[in-house]
Amino acid sequence: MTSEMIDTTLGRLNVEIDGDGPPAVLWHSLFVDSATWFQLRPLLSGTRRLIVIDGPGHGRSSVPPATFNVEGCTRAAAEVLDALGVREPVDWVGNAWGGHVGLTLAAISPDRCRSVVTVATPVRGLNGRERLTIVPTVWAYRLLGAAPPLANGVARALLGRAFMQQRPDETAMVVKSFRGAPRSGMYRAMVNVMLRRTDLNPLLPDIKSPTLMVVPTADPMLPAEQIHQAVAEMPSATAVEIDAEGHVAPIMANADELAGIITEFWQDPEGVACPPAD
């Protein structure tokens, strides 16, 4: 494994390269960093050269500009690929926020994506009620930072109560990721990526890359029906439900199952995303 800092329009991004084979990009969820891929990486690196990115304001990446959006993240991802000399289309794997970036990249730069896998990625923007629920969390973070009550609440939303009770070490890692991020960078990401999250539905018909959308069955923040409706709007997409709770829990608690799903998809993206008609 190698690691380097790469200059982009959203600041310096920490990038780790692991494994050998065709390129695949991993981009994590909001609130955490690339450490959350630790279960999946050894399961995927045998057949892919993994390019694992810490998003702006997360992990070891620098603080992003005060205002940015998901399209800006796609430009930053493309700049990372250019800096690494990656010219061929990549297999993109995105968890929540990372899925937003991958879907947007596939829509506006289809030559960059051989395939897209999203895990627990909503496609619509926040409604008014959801925004009112989240705003106090954002303001509390701005005032207090990642204080223990707030950090535990974020972990509960990302992992679910059962995961936190059964897997305390991994829960501690998620909390550490949140608490260790640069405070100004995390706040800016919370505002621009979460509160100002754009609706991806208008982009869906333009995403020609084979796409696999993995949805947890017990994620209170993401109704499975939303994902099934999304894939119906896409030319080459399918949805898979996985028995998990929370946005981040599937990539750790269900790593073996998820790796099998992703590997099968990579072997024949068109065949999986476009099954024969009955």
Which pLDDT does position 1 carry in this prediction? Answer: 85
What gap in Å lies between CA 9 and CA 69, rounded to an integer?
12
The structural domains of the chain, with segments of one domain joined by +, span 2-273
Share of the chain above pLDDT 90, in %: 88
Which pLDDT does position 218 carry in this prediction? Answer: 87
pLDDT at 274 over 80: no
What gap in Å lies between CA 31 and CA 186, rounded to an integer?
7
Which pLDDT does position 164 carry in this prediction? Answer: 95
| 13-52 pLDDT per residue, tens | 999 999 999 999 999 999 999 999 999 999 999 999 999 9
Residues 6+ apart with CB under 8 A from 102: 25, 27, 92, 93, 94, 113, 116, 117, 118
Contact status, residue 158 vs residue 31, Cβ threshold 8 Å? yes
What gap in Å lies between CA 198 and CA 193, rounded to an integer?
8
| 223-264 pLDDT per residue, tens | 899 999 999 999 999 999 999 988 999 999 999 999 999 999
In the predicted model, what is the mean pLDDT of residues 152-179? 94
Which pLDDT does position 6 carry in this prediction? Answer: 98
Which pLDDT does position 166 carry in this prediction? Answer: 95
Summary mean pLDDT of the chain: 94
Fold of 2-273: Rossmann fold (3.40.50)
Which pLDDT does position 275 carry in this prediction? Answer: 57
Contact status, residue 275 vs residue 238, Cβ threshold 8 Å? yes
In the predicted model, what is the mean pLDDT of residues 166-182? 95
Higher pLDDT among residues 206 and 127, named by residue: 206
pLDDT at 103 over 90: yes
In the predicted model, what is the mean pLDDT of residues 74-85? 98
SS (H, E, C) the chain: CEEEEEEECCEEEEEEEEECCCEEEEECCCCCCHHHHCCCHHHHCCCCEEEEECCCCCCCCCCCCCCCCHHHHHHHHHHHHHHCCCCCCEEEEEECHHHHHHHHHHHHCHHHEEEEEEECCCCCCCCHHHHHHHHHHHHHHHHHCCCHHHHHHHHHHHHCHHHHHHCHHHHHHHHHHHHHCCHHHHHHHHHHHHHCCCCCHHHHHHCCCCEEEEEECCCCCCCHHHHHHHHHCCCCEEEEEECCCCCCCHHHHCHHHHHHHHHHHHHCHHHHHCCCCC
pLDDT at 201 over 90: yes
